[in-house]
Structure 1
Amino acid sequence: MASRARRKQQRWCTQPLTPLMEGPDPEMQEEGTKKESSWEVIREWFRLQKGGGLAVHGSSSFSLSLYGNIPAKTQDLRLLLGVLGCPLAPIPLATDPLRRLHIKDIPIETSSALYIIQQYLAATGCLKQEKEMKNMYTTGTMKMICCETEISTGKSVKSLGTRSGENGCFVLWQMSPGMWSLELVVGCNKVVAGSNGKIVWRHTPWLGTHAAKGPHRPLRRIIQGLDPKSTASLFAKAQCLGEKRIGEDDCFVLKVAADRAAVMERNEGPAEVIRHVLYGYFSQKSGLLIYLEDSHLTRVQSPGNDTVYWETTIGTSLWDYRDVDGVMIAHEGRTIATVFRFGEVSMQHSRTRMEELWVIDDVVFNVPGLSFDYFIPPADIFDVDNSP
């Protein structure tokens, strides 16, 4: 009864449930009946830039978007939250990241990666952890910055926009296995997302509630220095690509990629996910993860239109590792995301760069009283998931 009452309290919107896309919405709708869907804000952003409609941030008047009379500054923030608010990792977590394999049974690239992950777990203190970490509570602050947009027509390149930033904060709860809840507020906008271990969903004021397509995947914020065991699990089947220098650190580079069947599950209409790859850079000196980068490529091929590719690259630098109950947690970082739009034949392309500076204020493990009921999805998603 308590669970049923909680579901009723979480019924936030009545609009139909649509998939949470991780690429642009390819369908062009009629102007009079337009309704925003996932990543519509990104496509509209590029239309604004190509049309020269971006106003100077901080001025008394803002240009309006091509639909909905949305000020350009609001469009900036929606773009930031759509890309950097709550992105997911490319693959699910492995069930047993510490599995024992015979070296002769696996390629040298895989065995090297397993050794690096073991060193990472040792460096973070997870191997000598005395009591099991059943759940985690995290609070943090951030500043999101929308940087310049580069427009190329093949003959000339122009840059538009200014460094307009918004401050925000977030609260994150996590519980094994694979359950998490995130509330993130930037400016006057709030993004709520969560997972009950089976369904990943997101709610924004302008898109409503959406469910993620494809396999269940972890929140990227969790694997970027907050939960070393989840990070190790994600790289359990990684390959070691070699070495690379990041800043002052010589690093081992590990790579994991979503397989073809998994990315095909995330296709939607004419939008086809081509690849989603994650790279981890582990310091040879400390053994810690100091840089994380993933690249997501989608091809949109609508009838009667040119093929368009959308590539989103997110790179995160991690530092300020501190001991929290015997576990080394990254307390500060900088994330830079690039949304790149280009055609198959045309020389035209658009590139937008955005940034997030984040700081972890508090981390608490094993919060008393936290139960499965705290991760129940909103009622509309729950009903769709259990419908015959």
Structure 2
Amino acid sequence: MSRRNQRWCPQPLTPLMEGPDFEMDDQEGNKKESSWEVIREWFRIQRSVPGGSSFSSSMSLYGPNISPAKRQDLRLLLGVLGCPLAPIPIPDKPTFHLHIKDIPLETSTAYYIIQQYLAATGCSKQQSCAKNMYTSGMVKLIRCETEISTGKNVRTIGSRCGENGCFVLWRMSPGMWSLELAVGGNKVVAGSDGKTVWRHTPWLGTHAAKGPQRPLRRIIQGLDPKSTASLFAKAQCLGEKRIGDDDCFVLKVAADRAAVMERNEGPAEVIRHVLYGYFSQKSGLLIYMEDSHLTRVQSPENDTVYWETTIGSSIGDYRDVDGVMIAHQGRTVATVFRFGDTSMEHTRTRMEEMWWIQDVVFNVPGLSGDSFIPPADIFDSAHTVSP
């Protein structure tokens, strides 16, 4: 279906925030709460129920008559794990032929690791890149537990309750992609036309991302080796680390200060966003990826609150698809850590995603740039925003 034929509810243009949404509409849509207030209310409901759980683990999380707390569960899961972005843009013309003279050792080492990765995935043998790609798969999102510290004691609440879902992903060079992810009766739709990244959720409407155009994290975690290699083209090698049974080289890329400042909005200030790739020394493949995203938020009461979102993904089950090794299975664990400047109080929520790829097709006939046009209200709202 063409993006131009889809109908969207008009919404004011607001930034695409990674991690928890810092403002959420309530049921009536006429009141906004900061996300930590939403989560605090969820904690209050949890504390009031014996055993610290407001629903049975045997139940579906999100039935037709869901409570506000269960609704916030799903919002948090989809907000963090639905469609996070990588910290930096993919270069328009990545350099895979590097002159190592007068460059740091950690950069030249990373270059050779990426060359090994391209060879291991079969990309270095291909004379031309695939023009587009279609991927479909299944996901299971799990809210594991939340740790609450009052400064005097620490308490953990919650249980492993999850919901199954599915996703469809389309990608086209350069920089165009479209994702539809449906879980628990809710759907997140996101995309990029190569210039604008946007997301639509049932509770917040359509939002445009601020700052440089960055790739979808789901694409670079084993689905598109060329994009992954391009992202790490100018990485630094930090050394070696063992992941499970594999000895790995650790590569790091980070958004520079100017780039993160472009993503600031109102009281929310992005402090840093760093991505680490762990490449197996034995196979040359990417088997683990972790990124850390820290945001500082100034509340109306002049209190400073920090949100640190850490997402770690194990990547595996590589299979040959038309000569390219594509990862077909993985597990992601995300932690959202909220803390203040001086208080010993903090909250730490841990959640999990398991994903399986069912189908991958390269060079789908008829797919064009028209398939990636953003919703019309992105542009309509953009015209109302002051420069």
Which of 195, 199, 203 aligns to 2:200? It is 203
Confirm whether residue 219 of structure 1 aligns to residue 213 of structure 2.
no
- 2:9 corresponds in structure 1 to 13
- 1:276 corresponds in structure 2 to 273
Q: Is the 8 A contact 2:279 2:287 kept in 1?
A: yes
Confirm whether residue 94 of structure 1 aligns to residue 91 of structure 2.
yes
Q: Name the amino acid aligned to 1:345.
A: T
Q: Is the 8 A contact 1:139 1:171 kept in 2?
A: yes
- 2:346 corresponds in structure 1 to 349
- 1:323 corresponds in structure 2 to 320
Which of 38, 41, 44 aligns to 1:44? It is 38
User: What is the TM-score with the length of structure 2 in the denominator?
Assistant: 0.91
Confirm whether residue 157 of structure 1 aligns to residue 154 of structure 2.
yes
Q: 1:29 to 1:253 in 2, by over 3 A?
A: same
Q: Name the amino acid aligned to 1:301.
A: Q
Which structure 1 residue ranges, 5 or more long, are not aligned?
Answer: 64-68
1:32 and 1:322 map into 2 onto residues whose CA distance is 47
- 2:233 corresponds in structure 1 to 236
Larger CA deviation: 28-37 vs 126-135: 28-37
- Superposed CA RMSD in Å reads 2.7
Larger CA deviation: 226-235 vs 122-131: 122-131
Q: 1:31 to 1:50 in 2, by over 3 A?
A: same
- What is the 5 A alignment of 1:1-388? 9-22=5-18, 34-36=30-32, 40-41=34-35, 43-49=37-43, 52=47, 55-58=53-56, 70-385=67-382
Q: Name the amino acid aligned to 1:13.
A: C
User: What is the TM-score with the length of structure 1 in the denominator?
Assistant: 0.91
1:335 and 1:192 map into 2 onto residues whose CA distance is 20
Pairs aligned (count): 378
Q: 1:30 to 1:76 in 2, by over 3 A?
A: closer
2:176 and 2:109 map into 1 onto residues whose CA distance is 30
Q: Is the 8 A contact 1:42 1:79 kept in 2?
A: no
Deviation string, structure 1 residues 274-333 (Cα, Å, up to 9, x no partner): 000000000000000000000000011235332111000000001100000000000000
Larger CA deviation: 25-34 vs 136-145: 25-34
Deviation string, structure 1 residues 55-114 (Cα, Å, up to 9, x no partner): 432289999xxxxx9432222111100100001000000223334332122100100001
Larger CA deviation: 126-135 vs 105-114: 126-135
Q: Name the amino acid aligned to 1:12.
A: W
Which structure 2 residue ranges, 5 or more long, are not aligned?
Answer: none
SS of alignment partner, residue 71 of structure 2: helix
Q: Name the amino acid aligned to 1:368.
A: P
What is the deviation of 1:28?
Answer: 10
2:2 and 2:281 map into 1 onto residues whose CA distance is 48
Deviation string, structure 1 residues 242-296 (Cα, Å, up to 9, x no partner): 0000000000000000000010011111211000000000000000000000000
1:19 and 1:70 map into 2 onto residues whose CA distance is 27
Deviation string, structure 1 residues 24-52 (Cα, Å, up to 9, x no partner): 56679999985458xx5565124421562
Q: Is the 8 A contact 1:255 1:277 kept in 2?
A: yes
SS of alignment partner, residue 367 of structure 2: coil
SS of alignment partner, residue 123 of structure 2: coil
Q: Is the 8 A contact 1:25 1:43 kept in 2?
A: no
1:347 and 1:141 map into 2 onto residues whose CA distance is 39
What is the deviation of 1:132?
Answer: 2.8
